[in-house]
Structure 1
Amino acid sequence: MIEFMTISGFLGAGKTTTLLETARRLREDGRRVAVITNDQGTELVDTQLARSAAETGEVTGGCFCCRFDDLVKVAMDLINDHGVGTLLAEAVGSCADLQATVLRPLRRYYGDRFTAGSLMTVVDAERLAALSSNNGNADLSYLFAKQLEEADVIALNKIDLLDAETTQAALDELHIRYPSATVAGYSAKSGRGMDQLIKTWMSQTAAPRNVEIDYNRYARAEAALAWLNQTLIVRAPGGFDGDLWARTLLEHLSKAAQDEGWAIGHAKITLRAPGVLSRFSLISSGGAPVADGPAPGPLAEAEACINARIACAPTQLDDAIAAAVRAATEVAAAEVERCGGERAFQPAYPQPAYRLAAPEPSAQICGCNGAC
C-alpha cells in the first residue's frame, strides 16, 4: 500500500520547506518518496524547488478537492513511473475541507491502493497572531481557522525565530483552541523538532469528525486574494546581481503593499540558471525578503519565476508587480523579457468533486478509519 500524506496550511507558513525536509529525511531512512504540489495557477515556484529535491508531480488550475481526478492521476503516474512508496502532497495555501473532499474520498474509492494518513496543518506564530485577531479580513481569518480545525496534527513552524516563552504561549493557545489535534513545535529551516514531527505525522490516526464549512465564506476568502504566476528572463551582457534584483523587487512590492494596506499571503521568486537555483520569499507587507540558499553571483541570464498572492484587486497586483520588476531591473542594470505565466486572477468558487461526511462513531468498529 502506498502512503499518502497530506499537508495544508495558510500561505507563507513554510509548508514547502517542511515538505522537502520531510522528504529528505524519509529518503535517508530508505523510503522511496515523491512530492505533489498544488496551485490555482501554473508556473509554480514550489514545483521548481521540489523537482530539485525529489520526484515531483503537480496539480494546477485548482485545489486538490476540485481537481481530485487530476490528483489521483498524478499520484498513479509517480507510483508507476518511479516506484515510490510514500507520497507527500502539499495542498494550495487557501484550501480547506481536505478531510471531506480529499482524504475520505481517497480512502473510500482508492483504499486498495493508498493508505491516506493524517492531515497535518502548518502554521507560524506571526500568522497565527495576525489571523486570530479581530483585525483584517474576517473571511481570511475564517478560512485560516477552518484549516486548523480539521487538522489531525497542527505543526507550529519557525520556532527558531521565537523565544521559549512565546513558543510555549503559541503552543498552549493551539492546544486550547483545537483540543482534537496533536500540536507540535519545530523549525523546518533549522531542523529542530523535525524528527519528532515526522514521527507524529506518520503515526497519527485521522480523526473521524465533521467540520462545518460555509462555502460562501470560503469562496470569499479565496477571492480576497489576487493570484499571479509569471516567468521572466532576466539578462545583462556584463552580468547582473541576482540577489540584488530579487531583493529589490520584493522590497518594492512590500512597500507598495504596506502603503496600500494590502495583506500579503506570500510572494516568492526563484532565480534559475546553470548550476543555480535560489529562492526569495516575502510573507508580510512592510516585511523584509528572506533568501533560501546561497546568493546567486553575477549572472549573464536567469529565469525568474514569480508567484504572488496578495489581498488586492487582480489589476492592482498586475500593476504592482510590473512596477517592482521595473525598479529591480533598473537597479540591477539588467533587462527582462516575459516568457510565461498569466495575468493576475481571483480563484473560482470551490466546487469539490466529492464531499464525504465522517461516519458515525458507532460505524468505527470495522477499523477502516472512516473509509467505508
Structure 2
Amino acid sequence: MITFIPLTGFLGAGKTTTMTTTALALEEKGHRVAVITNDQGVELVDTHLVRSKLDSVAEVTGGCFCCKFEDLVEAVVALTESDGVDTVIAEAVGSCTDLQATVVRPLRRYYGENMVVAPLTTVVDPLRHRAFERAAQRGEPESDLSYLFRQQLTEADVIAVNKLDTIPAGQAGELLLGLRKQYGDAAVVGYSATTGEGVDTLLTAWEAPAGNQAVDLDVDYDRYAAAEAQLAWMNQEVELSAVEGEFDATEWARTVLARLSGWAAEQGAVVGHAKLTVEVGDGEFAKLSLTEAGAEPTVDRTPASAAGGARAVINARVACEPDDLDRAVTDAVAAADQTTGARSSATSPVSFKPGYPRPVHRLAPAGA
C-alpha cells in the first residue's frame, strides 16, 4: 500500500523545502520516499534542488495535477515500481486550488485499493498571509490572487504554517490561533522547514484522518483563471562563461534576483516567486530565491568554488505582462554579467500566462 501526501499552497510558501525536509525525516523513520514536483512550464529549479538531496524524484510539467491527472498517476506508478517506494509526497503548482475535488477524491475513488491519500496540506508563508490580511483589513476589494489564496486555505485538511523562524514568537502564536478559529475543520501546525523545528508535528498531522473530506469548495473558475493569468511565468536557461578566469556564480545569481526584486518593487508587481540555480559542474551549484518585491534574495546553497563556465536556470512568477518580465530578466542578466565578469548566452525568454484550468476529474464529496 502506497501513501500519497498531497501539498498545495501559494507560490513562495516553501513547499519544496517542506517536501524535502519531511521526506528526509520519513526516510529516517524507515520509509522509502519519493517526491514529485509540478509546474506550468518545464526546466524546474525545484526539481534540480530536490535531486541533490533525494534519490527518487519525478516531475509533472505543463499544467497542474488537476489538469495532468493521468501524468501524476503514471509518475506515482513509475516511482513505486522502479524505486520500491512506500511514500510519495507531491507538491502542486502554487497557483492551483480545488485539489480536494480534482485530485484527492479521484485518487481515493479510482486508486484507493492500492493507495492511502493523506490529508491535503496547504503550506502557508506567514508574511504572505499577513499581506493578504492587511489588504482585507484596509477594506480593499478582494483581489483574484487573494481569492485563490483563501480557497487554498478553505479546502485544507492541514494548514501548515512554514517559516515560523522568520517572525517573532508572539506573532506566530497569534497567527496559529487565528487560523484555528477561522478554519476550524483543519488541523493547524507551525514549523520551519529550513531549521526542522516543529516538522514532527506536521508528520503527525499526516497520520490523522482527513478532517475536510466533506468540503465542497465553491470555486469560481473564472476568478481562479483570472488569478493565474495575473502572473507571467518564465523558465529560462542561460549558458555562462567567464570573460577572464572565473566568476562568482552565487554573486551572479544574487545580482539577477536583486535587480528583478528592485524592478518589481518599482512597478508595484507582486512576486509569486523567483528561483535561480547556477550549476558549475560536479554536482555543485548555487541556488537563490526571492518571494517578495523589494526584498533581498535568499541564498539557499552555494558552490564550493568559483566557475569558469556554468548553466543557469531561472524560474520567475511575477504579476505583470510576459513581455515586461522578459525585458526585466534580460536587463537583470546583463547587469549580473557586468558585475561578475561573466558572459551569458540565453535561450530566448518566452514568458507566458497559464491557460484556463480544465480538470480531468471533479468529484463531489461522498453523499453530496
Is TM (by shorter chain) over 0.5?
yes
Partner of 2:272: 265
Range that drifts further, 231-240 or 101-110: 231-240
Deviation at 1:314, TM superposition (A): 0.5
Alignment of 1:54-93 (within 5 A): 54=54, 55-93=56-94
State the 1:277 CA deviation.
2.5
Name the CA distance, whole Å, in 2 between partners of 1:104 and 1:342: 38
1:217 correspondence with 2:223: yes
Q: Does 1:193 align with 2:198?
A: yes
Counterpart-to-counterpart distance in 1, 2:343 and 2:231: 29
Aligned: 1:277 with 2:282? no
- Check if 1:297 corresponds to 2:305: yes
- 3-state DSSP class of the match of 1:270? strand
Residue 116 (structure 2) pairs with residue 119 (structure 1): no
Distance in 2 between the 1:138 and 1:235 partners?
A: 43
- For the residues of structure 1 that align with 2:149 and 2:13, how far apart are their CA atoms? 11
Identify the residue that residue 43 of structure 1 maps to in structure 2.
43
Which residue is 2:106 aligned to?
Answer: 105
| Greater Cα offset, 233-242 or 17-26 | 233-242
Q: Is 2:234 the partner of 1:228? A: yes
Structure 1 gap ranges (5+): 362-372
Residue 195 of structure 1 and its aligned partner are, at CA, apart by: 1.2
State whether structure 2 residue 329 is matched by structure 1 residue 321.
Answer: yes
- Give SS of 1:239's match: coil
C-alpha deviation, 1:342, in angstroms: 5.5
Q: 1:349 aligns with which of 338, 341, 356?
A: 356
- Measured after TM superposition, the shift of residue 275 of structure 1 is 3.5
Give SS of 1:298's match.
coil
Question: 1:309 is matched with which residue?
Answer: 317
The Cα shift of 1:205 comes to: 2.2
CA distance change for structure 1 residues 317 and 60 in 2, over 3 Å: closer, same or farther?
A: same
Structure 1 CA distance for aligned equivalents of residues 304 and 315 of structure 2:
19
Distance 2:21 2:62 in 1: 26
Q: In the alignment, which residue of structure 2 is the partner of 1:3?
A: 3
Give the RMSD, CA atoms, in angstroms: 1.4
2:188 equivalent in structure 1: 183
- Aligned to 2:367, which of 357, 360, 363? 360
Alpha-carbon distance, 1:206 to partner: 4.5
Q: Is the 8 A contact 1:257 1:263 kept in 2?
A: yes
Q: In the alignment, what sits opposite 1:253?
A: 260
* Cα shift readout 1:63-119 (whole Å, capped 9, x = no counterpart): 000000111111111111111110000001000000000010001111122111110
Residue identity opposite 1:87 in structure 2: V
Q: 1:7, 1:89 within 8 Å by CA — same for their partners in 2?
A: yes
8 Å contact kept, 2:97–2:151: yes
In structure 2, give the amino acid aligned to 1:99. Q
**What letter is aligned with 2:271?**
I
Q: How far did 1:125 drift? A: 1.1
Superposition deviation, residue 197 in structure 1:
1.3
Q: Give the corresponding residue for 1:370.
A: none
Q: Residue type of the partner of 1:69?
A: E
Q: Is the 8 A contact 2:124 2:162 kept in 1?
A: yes
2-structure distance, mates of 1:338, 1:7? 33
**Displacement of 1:173 after TM fit?**
1.7
User: CA shift at 1:201, angstroms?
Assistant: 2.0
Q: 1:303 to 1:136 in 2, by over 3 A?
A: farther
How far apart are the structure 2 equivalents of 1:291 and 1:137?
A: 33
Give the 3-state SS of the residue equivalent to 2:308 in structure 1: strand
CA distance in 2 between counterparts of 1:263 and 1:165 reads 27
Amino acid at match of 2:204: K
- The percent identity for this pair of structures is 49
Q: Indicate if the aligned counterparts of 2:284 and 2:303 stay in contact, CA closer than 8 A.
A: no
Give structure 2 stretches of 5+ with no counterpart.
Answer: none
Q: How far did 1:180 drift? A: 0.8
**Any idea what the Cα deviations from partners look like across 1:135-191, whole Å, max 9, x if unmatched?**
597000000000000000001111111111110111122112211100011001111
Give the paired residue count.
360
Equivalent position amino acid for 2:111 in 1 = Y
Whether the 8 Å CA contact 1:68–1:102 is kept in 2: the answer is: yes
Query: Is the 1:278–1:296 Cα contact (8 Å) retained in structure 2?
Result: no
> Does the CA contact (< 8 Å) of 1:120 and 1:154 recur in 2?
yes
- Corresponding residue of 1:150: 155
